[in-house]
Amino acid sequence: MKITVAGVGYVGLSLAVLLAQKHEVTAITTTEYKAEKLNKFISPIQDDEIERFFKEAREGQRTLNLHTTTDKKAAYESAQLVIIATPTNYDDENHFFDTSAVEDAIEWVLKVNPNVLMVIKSTIPVGYTDSILEKYGVDNIIFSPEFLRESKALYDNLHPSRIVVGAYDNRIADAKMFADIMLEGARIEEKRAGHSEQNIPVLIVNPTEAEAIKLFANTYLAVRVSYFNELDTYAQSKGLNTQMIIDGVCMDPRIGDHYNNPSFGYGGYCLPKDTKQLLANYKNVPQTMIEAVVKSNAVRKDFIANQIIAKNPQTVGVYRLTMKSNSDNFRASAIQGVIQRIKDKDIQIIIYEPTLEDGTEFLQSKVVNDLDKFKLQSDVILANRFDEDVLGDVKDKVYTRDLFCRD
């Protein structure tokens, strides 16, 4: 099958690689630079599994039928299936996802290949698919939410917890077909690795329910992050041992020992925008918890900043802007909110972030990537995630809430 994937962020690229094991996949990007890199099997994003697949493809150990282009017309014209995985950033002023890139892709397809099945993988508001079907007067658009972690997107596509597809009765066969090719992509790698077949549940629902599943799933994760962060805030305020409390709480099998590592707040590409979008969807619907989880994230950043300010440092060093270890993305990372709050008190900030150029500025703060200089110049080092190998020699300077040294 000829498949076109619009978007080469972590969602789109992981899908393109997954499906290129069996199908002829064309990925669309907006820049020639990215297209050139991807056509040489060089990943523009940090993802261990994508990098492994690409390395094996470069060395002739794996076949990936993947081509990347900036030519939208040619890519859509020849497609037998189009997957739309373009970004939908959240607009804080207007309280909605910016779906303009999704609609641009749909309009291109309708111009050059109007009858092809389109599957939206971008995160969208509840009710969006219905509005698009009505706006364009078509029925060949379905929605399938993704449940992927940044830097582990291909791994999560190879080992999915579930596959959800949203389609109406007249498109159930298409929904099953799409679920099958997703399952097929995961099972190709299983067989290659000599593993037994996974039992992957498939859920086919109406598009609006599928949209709600995505937003409610991510908001639950945000609730859990916020819960353990507020537990940690209480423990620090009362002089208690956070780790002992978390260990005791998580021995309850109903709670479980996962997603319980305190941080400076939830961040990244999904959780902040998805919680805000879900809250916006609650207009005229009674709620308190959804609003509380959005507020909780701001309160946590206030608390962390105040903990640092209370130490009266002249210079605060920020070790990494990324949300988690093994990531190169710091978009909407919680630590940026903490930086702004500290800077508001006229405290100097320096940043160690190898993905930025040494000597440049980020958030009006100097990037110092000479590690020895960074440590020497910092009175306090703020680290959302602690690295013993890097920071162990200055542990007395480090402020972190990373109790378990995991994401």
Q: Which residues belong to the active site?
A: 270
Torsion of CA 160, 162, 168, 172, to 10 degrees: 70
Please, are residues 352 and 302 in contact by the beta-carbon 8 Å criterion?
Answer: no
Q: Are 338 and 302 in contact (CB under 8 A)?
A: no
Distance CA 290, CA 287 (A): 7
350 in helix, strand or coil?
strand
Residue 57, C-beta contacts closer than 8 angstroms, at least 6 positions apart = 41, 63, 64
Distance CA 388, CA 252 (A): 30
What is the C-alpha separation between 16 and 119, in angstroms, rounded?
13
Of 177, 173, 181, 179, residue with least CA distance to 203: 179
Handedness of CA 112, 118, 121, 123 (dihedral sign): positive
What is the DSSP secondary-structure string of 212-267? HHHHHHHHHHHHHHHHHHHHHHHHHHHT--HHHHHHHHHTSTTT-SSS----S---
